[in-house]
Chains A and B, each alone.
Chain A
Amino acid sequence: MPNPEIALIHASCDEVSEDAVKWAYKVGFTWPTVLWPDWEAVGLGAYGAFAGEIFLVDSNGTLVAENEDEAFARIAELK
């Protein structure tokens, strides 16, 4: 069953939204997306800014994990 306590947010680094949507369609990425520069405006740029980066943050903005391995290890603990 899915874990309702975690939301996956996709932050696109593409400067042109058409590029972002083409990529998402190509790879079947249907998760909620924040386009650039909106993700900077909403504060996500404080945690990452480069394609391929993954981090886990709690709802209060505290960084919980700053890479893929740490993030999924933490998520496994939450299940």
Chain B
Amino acid sequence: MKLKHLLHVGIVALLGVGAVSARTWTSANGKNSFEGELKSFDKENNTVTIVYRNGRTVTFGTQKLSEADRTFLEENGKAAADAADPVDVEAALKEQKIGKPLAKKGILSRLEGEKFANFQLEKAPQYYLVYFSASW
């Protein structure tokens, strides 16, 4: 149950390591939908970058999304666009006992497709929720 709890709470409500939120996105014609986290929104060029649940990142024009999704982007996309300055984040992490070693290149990875890819924290969180897992 712990894993389910983590997946559910984590995706729905927990944290900001780059993504603003996970939601179900719907196509403009209403026929297709998928789950993903908003990574960034470029209002000027009307493009959105979303991280699928399998870790794959895609960027496409907002005209492909439903009106409700476009409204969501207007209301919530600024937070994604205002992502913290990477230089400031790096400096802040270096001040942390926990963040400093995690910020070292090659320590953190994240599932992208079927592989782990290097990952860097995009914010310097105040707390770390650590979950130990094993495949066995």
Taking Cβ atoms with an 8 Å cutoff, the residues of A that contact B are: 1-14, 17, 19-25, 27-35, 38, 41-44, 47-61, 64, 68, 71-72, 75, 78-79
Contact = CB atoms under 8 A, between A and B. Distances in A.
B68 interface: no
At the interface, is chain B mostly helix, strand, loop or mixed?
mixed
A78 B127 contact: yes
B28 to A, nearest CB: 25
Interface residues of B, number: 51
A68 to B, nearest CB: 6
Contacts of B15: 2-4, 6-8
A2 B13 contact: yes
A32 B7 CA distance: 13
Contacts, number: 199
Most central of B125, B126, B129, B134 by chain A CB within 10 Å: B129
Contacts of B134: 12-14, 23, 51
Interface of B: 2-3, 5-7, 9-10, 13-17, 19-21, 51, 53-55, 76, 96-99, 101-102, 104, 107-111, 114-116, 119, 121, 123-136
A48 B134 CA distance: 13
B5 A68 contact: yes
Nearest to B97: A61
A19 B136 CA distance: 9
At the interface, is chain A mostly helix, strand, loop or mixed?
mixed
A29 B133 contact: yes
23 contacts: A2-B16, A5-B16, A6-B127, A7-B123, A8-B129, A11-B130, A11-B131, A11-B133, A12-B132, A14-B135, A17-B116, A19-B136, A21-B115, A30-B54, A31-B131, A33-B109, A33-B111, A52-B132, A55-B130, A57-B127, A59-B127, A60-B97, A75-B129
